[in-house]
Chain A
């Protein structure tokens, strides 16, 4: 889908929540994962981040979530250096939905969603009745309100992703960072997750950075695509311009032409969500 056809990517819907990175370097563990990455994502845009395993996609999200430090270069968030902003302030505005969380201790789904209110409280103390109300509204929006009292570690993968999406919603952030939100989900749960995401994104007009290996999904959902390879951006721009076989071959080192393997990515048949906002 071309950017111009996407009703949400039209500029000016929201002017807060834009991100710009120049020459960004960061490490994951002891090995460098970002080696001078450039990115610019407009406010309210859905940007898909594609690239082979180890290309730095997840690391980019972790840097933006302030889970990993910026080692070199600069990241601007609404024009201000991300490094210079207080952590709690950026946590109110940027929500991170990790790929999978291994829950060791029991925690109710509602309490997990309430954690999204933590950066808003005074000094991480008790949540207010208003926080509870917001959490429940978010859980209803993501269709997980019936699970509120359940132990989150006992939920299915799809349910848990939607609980985390509800948390991002309760966080009232302007930017959502989603790390492979559809990985490991069966077709029905994938569809349910994407429909929920599309619906709440439509309501909130948040900026979304979505790491995925699903190239057709990027084409359907994203107004903007970033292609990463070895910690650098090799192409970025409107989805229709970036998702060419030439670019994809360069990024993945796999044939993307119509004459390639019978398993090539373009021929993959994936269920299409009914994306009616």
Chain B
């Protein structure tokens, strides 16, 4: 792995975090933040305690989604694979929303979202299977079907829910980082770490998959096992991200693509750098969404979709 690229990624992430601390409805100066004294200093501390968890949540969610997208792209040998487009995010949102409607503790929601994401992955893979193997065109169509179905479920739940529950449904559908708390960040962290560790450990095998599943099998990879492990880990990351931030699309599509053009397609570099770049993107995008229409907030999912959809169209045109 290229250490310099990793260091550069960390620096960019730090820069984005610093920016995100500073901007928003109220602008902070770094001097106020560091000194923390006087009236402006106390405001700074207060805002930092609000913005800190939000930035940490944005970084973890962005990293999880980007890493899940990068791993799925290599596994399926398809640059269009993304947890949002494959319906995994939608399944996660339905799982989390279902748990919330059933009155379960918010601490359960990542697990419920993971179950939803895993079920969605299985269903989509099942629909896309033709003659014993995953057909890639069918996979994207199956993702479309799954997304339509999950949207219908969420909209249906939204229409019967009222008050707080309706607001929660809207949150899962639109995606938001506004409700970040230190507790949420702490709950998300182990899920993110576990999923990331599993995928990064599989990165050399994913290199063989990115040339083809047959290629991986002929080079000694237990392909069925690797597919299961990668699908589950990607579902775990997606579920964790969606449980606390709702459905934020296109991060898993955008980030690996951008990283690939800079660092090449060696998964041993691409996966960890995608995590860092996804974190950077979402921290920066969240800062923009807070600052652009302040004091109102632009929905983060709208921003990532505005960036991601044109890229998706461009990739589609280039795909033979």
Q: Is the CB of A115 within 8 A of B78?
A: no
User: Are A124 and B204 in contact (CB-based, < 8 A)?
Assistant: yes
Contact in complex: B218, A104 (CB < 8 Å): no
Interface centre among B133, B210, B265, B266 (most CB of A within 10 A): B265
Q: Mark B206-249, 1 if CB is under 8 A from A, else 0.
A: 01101110110111111000000000000000000000000000
Complex alpha-carbon distance, A52 and B1, angstroms = 47
Q: B200 to chain A: closest CB distance in Å?
A: 11
**Is the C-beta of A92 less than 8 angstroms from some C-beta in chain B?**
yes
Given A118-B204, A124-B205, A126-B204; A104-B219 close (CB under 8 Å)? no
Tell whether A66 is near chain B: CB-to-CB under 8 Å: yes
Cβ of A90 under 8 Å from chain B? yes
Q: Which residue of B lies closest to A119 (CB)?
A: B220
Q: Is B45 an interface residue (CB 8 A)?
A: no
Interface string of A100-122 (1 = CB under 8 A from B): 01111111100110011011010
Interface residue B138 (Cβ < 8 Å from any Cβ of A): no
Specify which chain A residues have a CB less than 8 angstroms from the CB of B78 in the assembled complex. Answer: 104
Check A130 for interface membership: any CB of B closer than 8 A. Answer: no
Report the separation of the CA atoms of residues A102 and B77 in the bound assembly, to the nearest whole angstrom: 10
B79 adjacent to A91 (CB under 8 Å):
no
Q: Judging by beta carbons under 8 Å apart, are A29 and B132 in contact?
A: yes
Are A112 and B211 also in contact (CB < 8 A) when A105-B260, A118-B219, A126-B268 are? yes
Interface size class of A (residues with CB under 8 A): 35 or more
Contacts of A88 in B (CB 8 A): 220
Cβ contact within 8 Å between B218 and A66? yes
Residues from chain A with Cβ under 8 Å of B38 in the complex: none
Whether a CB of chain A sits under 8 angstroms from the CB of B264 is: yes
- Tell me the bound Cα distance from A121 to B1 in angstroms: 16
* Interface residue? B131 (CB, 8 A): yes
- The answer to whether B132 touches A87, judged by C-beta atoms less than 8 angstroms apart, is no
Residue among A27, A106, A124 with the highest chain B CB neighbour number at 10 A: A124
As a 0/1 sequence over residues 12 to 53 of chain B, the CB contacts with chain A under 8 angstroms (1 = contact) are 000000000000000000000000000000000000000000
Given contacts A104-B78, A126-B204, A115 and B132 within 8 Å (CB-CB): no
CA distance A183 to B46 in the complex (A): 70
Max chain B Cβ within 10 angstroms of own Cβ: one of A62, A98, A105:
A105
A274 at interface by CB-CB < 8 Å: no
B131 lies within 8 A of A30 (CB): yes
Which residues of A are found within 8 Å of B214, using beta-carbon distances? 62, 65, 67, 96, 98
Give chain B nearest CB distance to A121 CB in angstroms.
Answer: 8
| In the complex, chain A residues whose CB is within 8 Å of the CB of B1 | 126
Q: Are A115 and B208 in contact (CB under 8 A)?
A: yes
Docked CA distance A106–B207 (Å): 11
B218 and A65 within 8 A (CB): yes
Residues of B contacting A126 in the complex (Cβ-Cβ under 8 angstroms) = 1, 204, 268
Residues of B near A107 (CB, < 8 A) are 210-211, 265
B266 cross-chain contacts in A, Cβ below 8 A: 111
Complex contact A87–B210 (CB within 8 A): no
Q: With A98-B214, A105-B77, A105-B260 known to touch, is A91 a contact of B265 (CB < 8 Å)?
A: no
> Which residues in B have their C-beta under 8 angstroms from that of A121?
204
Chain B residues contacting A94 (CB-CB under 8 Å) are 218
Q: Give bound CA distance, A92 to B133, whole Å.
A: 25
Tell me whether A105 and B208 are in contact (CB under 8 A): no
In Å, the complex CA distance between A111 and B204 comes to 12
| Known contacts A101-B212, A105-B210, A126-B204; A115 and B131 CB within 8 A of each other | no
B320 to chain A minimum Cβ distance, whole angstroms, is 8
In the complex, residue of chain B having the shortest beta-carbon distance to the beta carbon of A127 = B204
Q: Is A84 an interface residue (CB 8 A)?
A: no
User: Contact: B77 with A87, CB < 8 Å?
Assistant: no
Say whether A269 faces chain B, with CB atoms less than 8 Å apart. no
List of B residues within 8 angstroms of A270 by Cβ:
none
Complex Cα–Cα for A31 and B266 (A):
36
Which residue on A lies nearest to B212, using beta carbons? A101
Q: List 25 A-B contacts (CB under 8 A).
A: A28-B131, A29-B130, A29-B132, A67-B217, A67-B218, A87-B220, A87-B221, A87-B222, A90-B220, A92-B220, A94-B218, A96-B214, A98-B215, A104-B79, A105-B77, A105-B260, A107-B265, A112-B211, A115-B207, A115-B219, A118-B207, A118-B208, A124-B204, A125-B204, A126-B204
**New A-B contacts (8) at CB < 8 Å, excluding given A101-B212, A118-B220:** A62-B214, A67-B214, A105-B74, A106-B260, A112-B211, A115-B207, A118-B219, A126-B268
- Which A-B residue pairs are the 5 nearest by beta carbons? A29-B131, A91-B220, A88-B220, A124-B204, A96-B218
